[in-house]
């Protein structure tokens, strides 16, 4: 009888011990997760950064031949409502004759040629959207204002060192090594553009 009582006591002690081990392990796991969560969460971008990741612009008020500058990720973005003459001039250029034959479009592969079609959206060729920073030394090219000097190709002209861009934002003459970059963007409607 004593052996049965000892066996029962040992079984009860083992069960209690197992419960305490499992409970302590679970408590440690929950405590560890609660401690690590703020450290992991602080690595996520804050709301202001996420808000800058994309921006929406209503282009309805921009008349043909006009351009606006908006800020996206701390950079100026040029949006021009091109005229038929500007579109025709851009389409007539052979991309292989350009100093930079890459479209520099964030939505296309690096090897995409710098045709006007690869720098605009199909069916929306009148809208040109590009980062307004000269690819030479980071100046802001002139050409957004109606009275601005637009350079020899009626696009943009960087007064810092004399780079000339055409009506598709492609480098045509001067020290700039690359075309103006086209950010990834999409049309949410006929008059609403989302950049980013």
CB 195 within 8 Å of CB 57: yes
In eight-state DSSP terms, residue 93 is: S
Tokens 């209690």 — which residue?
16
Tokens of 59: 């282009």
SS3 for 34-51, per residue?
HHHHHHHHCCCCCHHHHH
Does the active-site annotation cover 81? Answer: no
Tokens of 36: 């690590």
CB 132 within 8 Å of CB 75: yes
Catalytic residue among 81, 136, 161, 164: 161
Tokens of 155: 């696009």
Residues with catalytic roles: 161
């Amino acid at each position: 009888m004593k052996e049965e009582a000892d066996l029962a006591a040992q079984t009860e002690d083992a069960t209690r011990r197992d419960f305490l081990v499992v409970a302590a392990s679970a408590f440690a796991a929950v405590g560890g997760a609660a401690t690590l969560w703020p450290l992991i969460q602080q690595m996520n971008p804050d709301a202001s950064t996420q808000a800058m990741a994309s921006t929406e612009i209503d282009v309805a008020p921009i008349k043909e031949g006009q351009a606006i500058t908006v800020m996206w990720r701390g950079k100026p973005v040029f949006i021009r409502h091109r005229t038929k003459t500007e579109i025709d001039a851009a389409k007539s250029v052979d991309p292989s004759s350009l100093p930079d034959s890459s479209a520099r479009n964030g939505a296309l592969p690096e090897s995409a040629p710098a045709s006007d079609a690869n720098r605009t959206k199909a069916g929306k060729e009148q809208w040109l959207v590009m980062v307004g920073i000269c690819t030479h030394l980071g100046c802001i090219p002139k050409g957004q204002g109606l009275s601005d000097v637009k350079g020899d190709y009626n696009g943009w002209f960087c007064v810092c060192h004399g780079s000339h861009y055409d009506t598709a934002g492609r480098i045509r003459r001067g020290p700039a090594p690359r075309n103006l970059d086209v950010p990834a963007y999409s049309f949410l409607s006929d008059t609403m553009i989302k950049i980013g």
